[in-house]
A and B are shown apart, each in its own frame.
Chain A
Amino acid sequence: MGLSQIDLAGSQAGHDMLGASRSDNRGKGVPKNMTKKRILAIASGGGHWQQLMLLRDAFQHHDVFYLTTLPGLAAQFDANPSALVPDCNRDEKLAILHACWVIAVRLVRFRPHVVISTGALPGVITLVLAKLIGARTIWVDSVANAEEMSMSGKLARRFADLWLSQWEDVAAAEGAEFAGAVL
């Protein structure tokens, strides 16, 4: 399947959403007239993952596929279906390439309409690649970053349609949006 086909599928599904009423149906599953979307949710093990789990009410009424870096973590939180991606950081070029490949395969297979990440670097990679297949992308910077956006968050900026900090001051200083925090 070529990239253009994937993009088309994403766009068409996006049009189906128009006109669906949302505000009355919060917390009650998928509103009538709304087609379920495919949501790819990715976070590294540890605090990033915990924060993603605290945001599940935002997307679990859709078809969600989870990616994380630590074996057993997704199962512990009943986050199904899920798969592992290799962890990586800026100092490990080979690990980054490996993660890119694994994430690209997942993206092409799952064809998400929306990708959401709370960090860290594997999440940035996923946002970058997700833009190539026309998905809408969300970055929620970790609440650990109370004084400036994380390095990953700064990298993610250009590839995030919704770019959030969980700190009002940080959001104001960096041009991000603030909508609330999990802590």
Chain B
Amino acid sequence: MKSKIFPAASCLLWASTLGSMADPKTTTPEKINPKRIGEDPYRFNGAVLTDTARGSGFCAWNRHTFFTAAHVVFDDTAGKWELPPSWYPQANSEELKIEDAILSRGYFRWTNYADLVAAGDSKYSAFSRDVALAFAFQKLIKGPPAEINLNGINDLKKKKPTIITGYPADNLYEDKNLTGYYLYKTGPVRTPYKPYSGHALITTKVTTGHGNSGGPIWTKNAKGDWNAAGVLVGGLPSESVVYAFSQDMSSLLSVAKPTLRPEIGMTELSKEISSTSQFFPYHKDQKIPDGRHSWTAFKIGVDLPDREAKLTACRISLDIRTKHRGDLQVVLQAPGGYQALIHNEGGAGADDLIIKDMDVSAAFKDILPRGSWFLLVQDRLKGDIATFKSCVLEISQDEQPGSTPAP
């Protein structure tokens, strides 16, 4: 089986850094004691195989999802979609057993169009978008999945302990082949990673080998548990490049969420408004200038105890009295200018505009909700005076800062 681990472009980088490869402080992979495979964070690991590549991955966020490097599952050069990858949970043997394979149903690659033209589609931009999240209809591991550190992009730059785990096929630094599919760890080390390109970070003091691509880099949380802070995407004899997790990954998880098999007894998540919602009422009888194409703004100050927590859900209720709601335009604007069109002159000759619990979460998901919100109202046609009576903004920030959407 072909072992296509780090992007081909990295070979160029390898050649350019050979001169500095003799750093004796470089940390290299060590085989995990088989008795410890069932422990955290080793039990989250799995080998990832496609028809043409071998890599690593880790089950995180949900028992039906695993992260890996995008270049393990998608050949950028050919630009062709292939079969989704197979997952071999807790592999640790000379050969993989086909009966252990779980064929995933698909995956999402987190990327953007600009990366396809950035710097001639170089290795730098390739690393900066090298993450994929695969989903399966079958559970991928026993027990709970790994937690994700959405602040990995900052934590990995600090001198905190980190470990890389995965299934290297060789030890690049010592130029040795490693047989089979055994789980290795590289670290723990306290080496700050430096910016490389976009979300890609680099260190010159840690190295692993081909096959480890897609494996996790772990950081410790406040409780001392290992959390996945990124994905190994490239490396050379004395360096490693990782794709570091940030709040963007929260959006990736939101994309994958609808593909998850609903669990029996799972809480209904579709409405997303929980008992932790905060309500911001606004009451004021105010006439809207009639037939004027200018906005009357109702400012709603949103003060939430948690400044860093993102909005997970939002609803608006509204009461405007008028003889013709078709004259009205209503926009809700969040801090930063994010807007939702609430009413667009609909309803023709019908009277009062009364809206109850309109879900506008999609327009504001993942923004920081603290600050000034505005309800903007226009009465665009002359003849009937509209009077604003009240509105209530409901905001939920279910997850804690740095955490992930409910799986």
- A and B found bound together: no
